[in-house]
Structure 1
Amino acid sequence: MRDEALVVRCQLGDRDAFGDLVRAWHQPVERYVGRMLGRADDDVVQEVWLAVVRGLPRLRQPERFAPWLFAIARRAVMNRLRQAYASAESEPITGDLPADGSDTDLVLDRELVDGALAALPRAEREVVLLFYLEDLPLDACAQICDVPVGTVKSRLHRARRLLRAELLRKGYQA
């Protein structure tokens, strides 16, 4: 309800409300962009917020702000990936960690999981990020990815299987 009220206030011209909205959602957007691209990219995050500023007055369902925001972020990420592919300057993502038993440290576990997430195919990584890390419901994930809910469910199932295999390959002991 808080986001809905902030969106309505923004649509009415309240600049402070937009600041509150950005403070509430900047970190999730930044995290999503960073994980989808495999690295932080402030330019893409800024593109997202610029698109939000331009599109917010036309948002007809303020209660659907989160899926709308992540759909904008997804388009910005896809545009950046297309640009990188076209310029052939993209660098391969590497994330292998030594399996020497030292992965009991929390930081190393996070690096291990981040590396395993980076190894997932883009579609599966996207639904994992939206569903588990951003805590969005299945229907919101489906709307953001522009696929049916059943496709989101199958991608989540495949992603869990691939994550498990990748973590085991990297030496993680359950």
Structure 2
Amino acid sequence: MTDELLVVRAQLGERAALNELVTLWQVPVWTYVRRMLDAERADDVSQEVWLAVFRGLHRLREPGRFAPWLFTIARRSVTDRLRGEYAREAEEHAAGETVAGDPGEAVVNRAGLIGALSGLPLLEREVLVLYYLEDLPVEDCAQICGVPAGTVKSRLNRARRLLRAHLEEKGYRA
């Protein structure tokens, strides 16, 4: 069954269709959020995404555009979480408190691609995840990120160059 049909059925109040949508998209959403944040925050943000989907599904005018709409919500949720954390850290720092990082996170050596992805700037990491790992077309990535398709292409190009340089620095050869 297509996403479009499931969305229409869910908008009409059919719980089974809504459950099927969640079943189909829960892992891709969590994976996207996890690639943008750490695992603990990914769980919380994924729940926020699904809550927003439940609240807003009736307002989705183009059921065939469910995937870009869903990832737009996920992107906004990740951005809101990061923005809130940065603001809290700035307040704590301004108040004279020392902000301690997670020592376990510093010790963990993330291997291969995941480590390289986390080293990329957020905008470049985001388009790489959407385009290559979520298999979304450039146009959908552009809609999700709120930028023109040309900007997505230039970010992809820059991200590939940065990723290649990072992997070569770690000893991997193309």
TM class by shorter-chain length?
0.7 to 0.9
Q: Distance in 1 between matches of 2:144 and 2:155?
A: 14
RMSD, matched Cα: 2.0
Once the two structures are overlaid, the 10-residue window that deviates more, 31-40 or 5-14, is 31-40
Map 1:100-139 → 2, pairs under 5 A: 111-139=111-139
Counterpart CA distance in 1 for 2:112 and 2:173 is 12
TM-score of the two chains, using structure 2 as the length reference: 0.87
Q: CA, structure 1 residues 96+53, in 2 after alignment: closer, same or farther (shift >3 Å)?
A: closer
Structure 1 residues without counterparts, runs of 5 or longer: 98-107
Partner of 1:60: 61
AA of the residue aligned to 1:127:
V
Distance 2:14 2:166 in 1: 47
* Equivalent-residue separation in structure 2 for 1:90 and 1:125 (angstroms): 25
Per the alignment, residue 22 of structure 1 pairs with 22
Q: Tell me which moved more, 87-96 or 18-27.
A: 87-96
CA contact 1:84–1:90 (8 Å) conserved in 2: no
1:79 maps to amino acid: D
For structure 2, the 5+ residue unaligned runs are 90-98
User: Structure 1 residue 164: deviation in Å?
Assistant: 0.3
Matched ranges for 1:20-169 at <5 A: 20-40=20-40, 41-88=42-89, 91=101, 111-169=111-169
The list of structure 1 runs, each at least 4 consecutive aligned residues, that deviate by more than 3 angstroms after superposition, is 89-97
Give me the TM-score of the superposition, normalised by structure 1. 0.87
Deviations along 1:125-162, one digit per CA (max 9) or x if unpaired, are 00000000000011000000000000000000000000
Partner of 1:7: 7
Deviations 1:60-88 (A, max 9, x none): 00000000000000010001101111122
